[in-house]
Amino acid sequence: MILVDSSIWVEFFRKDSYRAELETLLYNRQLATHSYLVAEIALGQLAMRQQTLEGFDSLPTLPTVSVDDVRHMIEARSLYGKGIGFVDANLLASCLATPGAKLWTLDKRLGGLAGSLGICADYLLTVN
C-alpha cells in the first residue's frame, strides 16, 4: 500500500499533477489513505467537495497509531527536532505499523525521514 501525503493531493487538486501515478495506484489497489490526512484535506476548498470526500472515504485506510505509541516512536527513532508535526509523525507510524506500506510525499523533511525509516515510496518521486 502507498499512503499518499497531502502534498501530492494539493498538487493534484491545484494543477492536476500526478494524475497518471494516482490512477495507476488506484487501479492496482495500492492507494491508501489515513483519517488524519483526509481531515487535513477536508480543511481545504475542494471542487465537488462531497464527492471528493466520499472518494477518500472509500479508499483503504491505514491505522491511526495511538498518541502514546507515536511518542514512543519519536523517542526511539530520534524524530524530534526534525521539522515535522504530529500528523506527519502519525503517518510515519502508520506506515511502520502496516507491513509493506510506503509513504509518497513531496515534503523534503518528511520524505527524508521516510527514507531513513525505509518506508519512502521513492520510485514515485517524479517532478511535474
Q: Is the pLDDT of residue 123 over 90?
A: no
CA-closest candidate to residue 10, choices 48, 58, 43, 59: 43
pTM for the full model? Answer: 0.91
Is 68 domain-assigned? yes
How many structural domains compose the chain? Answer: 1
Summarize pLDDT for 41-83 with one digit per residue, the tens: 999 999 999 999 999 999 999 999 999 999 999 999 999 999 9
Is 127 domain-assigned? no
Is 114 domain-assigned? yes
The rounded distance, in Å, linking the Cα atoms of 25 and 27 is 6
Is 44 domain-assigned? yes
Question: Whole-number mean pLDDT of the chain?
Answer: 93
Is 58 domain-assigned? yes
Confidence tier at 7 by pLDDT (50, 70, 90): very high
**Which range of residues forms the domain containing residue 7?**
2-120
Q: Is the pLDDT of residue 122 over 90?
A: no
Is 23 domain-assigned? yes
The rounded distance, in Å, linking the Cα atoms of 118 and 101 is 10
The C-alpha cell at 115 is 527514507
Is 128 domain-assigned? no
Confidence tier at 124 by pLDDT (50, 70, 90): low
Q: For residue 128, what pLDDT is reported?
A: 37
CATH number, position 110: 3.40.50.1010
Is 12 domain-assigned? yes
Distance of CA 103 to the CA centre of its chain: 5
